[in-house]
Structure 1
Amino acid sequence: MEYKIRQMKNTEYPLLNDFLYEAIYVPNGIEPPPKTVIYSPELQVYVSDFGKKEHDIALVAEVNKKIIGAVWVRIMNDYGHIDNTTPSLAMSVFKEYRGLGVGTALLEELIAILKSKGYARISLSVQKDNYAVKMYQKVGFTILKEVDEEYIMVIAL
């Protein structure tokens, strides 16, 4: 499958709501939450007014002009927040495109961009039983601390 990684356009920022919902980890056998859950304040911090803050950066993966995945960072007080200079990461790939290397490619490109901009590290929060933990570790994220059912992970750039 051919896909392209590129910067997200300003006009595409509303799509982050869809990718935010896709980023919610739902264990097997558990009913997914209603899509309206993304409008809660603790989740809107990831997407509200995206592109208007200095440290907002987003990339997308595209197949045949269809956006199939997104990765984005901003400095925010979210679940993965560690300090006010470290961007927190969020990402998701539509289910039918998972396991094909798209997420890894998005992460690697974002890491390269943030490194070139002089950031020291990136943080994220992920549920311990989320299959994505292995992908994050594969690209170099390490567990900084454990909080209940989540890992706070970081990668030094």
Structure 2
Amino acid sequence: MRYTIRDMRSAESPLLEDFLYEAIFLPEGTAPPPKSILNEEALRVYIREFGSQPGDVCLMAEAGGQAVGAVWARIMDDYGHVDDETPSLAISLYPAYRGRGIGTNLLEHMLTRLRQGGYKQVSLSVQKANPAANLYRRMGFEIFRGTEEEWIMVRRL
């Protein structure tokens, strides 16, 4: 599959709502939540006025002229928060584009971008049952702390 990784265009910021919804992990057999779940403050923090804060960065995977995946990071008090100097990361792909290495490529590009931006580390939150946790481990993320259901993971840059 041919695709490119590029910076998000300002006009594409509304797409982050779609990608945030796609990032919600659903264990097998679980019905998807209503889209209105994105109105909850715990999720709005990921996308509200994205691009307006220093350090907001988003990369898109584009295939066939459309965005098919996104990875974005910002300093925020979210599920993956570790401190006020560490950006938290979110990543998702539309289902038809998963399992093709695009997420790994997006993540590699984001780690490079954050390192070039002078950040020392990046964090994220992932449910233990989410297969993406294996990707994060392969990419050098380590468990920072956890609960019964999820881990906060950190990757040194």
Question: Could you state the TM-score of these two structures normalised by the residue count of structure 1?
Answer: 0.99
Correspondence for 1:62: 62
* Counterpart AA for 2:112: A
How many residues get paired?
157
Correspondence for 1:77: 77
* Backbone CA RMSD of aligned residues: 0.6
Correspondence for 1:146: 146
Looking at structure 2, the residues matched to 39 and 69 of structure 1 have their Cα atoms a distance apart, in angstroms, of 21
Deviations 1:82-139 (A, max 9, x none): 0000000001001111000000000000000110111000000000000000111111
Gaps of 5+ in 2: none
Correspondence for 1:155: 155
Deviation at 1:148, TM superposition (A): 2.7
SS in 2 for 1:16: helix
SS in 2 for 1:61: strand
SS in 2 for 1:136: helix
Looking at structure 2, the residues matched to 117 and 43 of structure 1 have their Cα atoms a distance apart, in angstroms, of 25
Does residue 1:28 correspond to 2:51, yes or no? no
Correspondence for 1:108: 108
SS in 2 for 1:104: helix
Once the two structures are aligned, what percentage of the paired residues are identical?
50
* Counterpart AA for 1:101: G
SS in 1 for 2:61: strand
Question: Could you state the TM-score of these two structures normalised by the residue count of structure 2?
Answer: 0.99
SS in 2 for 1:28: coil
Looking at structure 2, the residues matched to 147 and 54 of structure 1 have their Cα atoms a distance apart, in angstroms, of 30
Looking at structure 1, the residues matched to 6 and 138 of structure 2 have their Cα atoms a distance apart, in angstroms, of 22
Correspondence for 1:37: 37
